[in-house]
Structure 1
Amino acid sequence: MKNFILISVLFIGLSNLQAQTTEPREQGKAFYLELFGNGITYSLNYDQRFQKRMDGLGFKAGASFLSLGGSSVGTVPVGLNYLLGKEGKFFEMGMGSTLIFGGGNTDFAVGDGEPLDTYFLGTMTFGYRSEPTDGGFLFRANLTPIFGGFGFYPFFGGISVGYAF
């Protein structure tokens, strides 16, 4: 319940933010909440381009944590991504990895039912990204294939909302 309240407050706060300027941004940076996607259930993420531009090569890193009935699981998605497009409308593609870790009386399992301790997933991202050139509300919708010792799931996906600055 605490996680739901935190996510709700974050979403409401991000949706009310306004761009501070009407000038185009020098470098693409963003903070967003992703449901499903690379964080598996949800994740809070930071994203930035390597060069002072809105498109091109960049990185993202995030984190999430869930605790249910004495069991807990956390994720740390990281990856490289490339934005192709202009005027704030982009095709996003990328690759990365997500660290999944458990604690307490962990009932979470991966693959053939092995209890979760620490596990790495491979991830890919293919999708649409919209963010104003002068900053503001960011929206992402992605197909996010995941793979690991458990197999390959090509039709996993995610949706994100956040703030670009």
Structure 2
Amino acid sequence: MKQLLLCFILSLFIFNLESKAQEQDREQGKAFYVELLGNGISYSMNYDQRFQKRLDGLGFRAGASFLSIGGSSVGTVPIGLNYLLGKNGQYFEMGLGSTFLFGGASTDFAVGDGEALSTYLVGTMNFGYRSEPTDGGFLFRANLTPVFGGFGFYPFYGGVSFGYAF
């Protein structure tokens, strides 16, 4: 956990230096954040960007996480499309994506009817609030994240994110 926190702080520092070095107004929404629960199932580190040179509109996100507990391990790779609707750094965010889950050789995580997890694909949706300053800086997200797959549909799953917009 300490390594994850150190990596996150270092990333924020590097992004802060990059944004100051450019010395121009922020034209395109880009962000790096850590999401607790949500699309990464337990947690994930994510990169998010708009497709056009604007702070709202259509964009994508991609992330990754790895968790090892008592000899069992699982990794996740959440990817998806999202749309930001709003202005002045306050947005309604909605999206659709999938999370690829994979386990190591000693994995005994169970999915659905108790089957062992080696690889699994989970569908995700995203509806929530996003605060992202127009000139960059601290980013906050709180989302309802319904998940679905062969195991069923769970409409009341969610997540919260903290990061840096640049």
Name the TM-score, length of structure 2 as normaliser: 0.91
What residue identity is the alignment partner of 1:7? L
Q: How far off is 1:32 after superposition?
A: 0.4
Hey, what's the Cα distance between the residues in 1 that align with 2:6 and 2:160? 18
Question: Are the counterparts in 2 of residues 66 and 74 from structure 1 also a CA contact under 8 Å?
Answer: yes
Q: What whole-Å deviation, never above 9, does each CA across 1:115-142 have from its counterpart, x for those lacking one?
A: 0010000000000000111111000000
After TM superposition, the structure 1 = structure 2 runs for residues 61-76 of structure 1, keeping only pairs within 5 Å, are: 61-76=62-77
SS in 1 for 2:107: coil
The answer for the alignment partner of 1:7 in structure 2 is 4
- What is the CA RMSD across the aligned residues, in angstroms? 1.7
Hey, what's the Cα distance between the residues in 2 that align with 1:71 and 1:105? 6
What residue identity is the alignment partner of 2:59? G
Q: How far off is 1:47 after superposition?
A: 0.3
Question: Are the counterparts in 2 of residues 27 and 51 from structure 1 also a CA contact under 8 Å?
Answer: yes
Give structure 1 stretches of 5+ with no counterpart: none
What residue identity is the alignment partner of 1:138? L
After TM superposition, the structure 1 = structure 2 runs for residues 30-69 of structure 1, keeping only pairs within 5 Å, are: 30-69=31-70
Q: How far off is 1:15 after superposition?
A: 6.9
What residue identity is the alignment partner of 2:4? I
What residue identity is the alignment partner of 1:110? V
The answer for the alignment partner of 1:128 in structure 2 is 129
Q: How far off is 1:70 after superposition?
A: 1.8
Question: Are the counterparts in 2 of residues 23 and 134 from structure 1 also a CA contact under 8 Å?
Answer: no
The answer for the alignment partner of 2:90 in structure 1 is 89
Hey, what's the Cα distance between the residues in 1 that align with 2:27 and 2:119? 39
Q: How far off is 1:22 after superposition?
A: 7.9
Hey, what's the Cα distance between the residues in 2 that align with 1:88 and 1:155? 26
Q: Note if 1:156 corresponds to 2:157.
A: yes
Q: How far off is 1:63 after superposition?
A: 0.3
Hey, what's the Cα distance between the residues in 2 that align with 1:118 and 1:109? 11
Q: What whole-Å deviation, never above 9, does each CA across 1:90-145 have from its counterpart, x for those lacking one?
A: 00000000000001321101111100010000000000000111111000000000
What residue identity is the alignment partner of 1:35? L
Instruction: Give the aligned length.
Output: 162
SS in 2 for 1:104: coil
Name the TM-score, length of structure 1 as normaliser: 0.91
The answer for the alignment partner of 1:143 in structure 2 is 144
Q: How far off is 1:71 after superposition?
A: 1.4
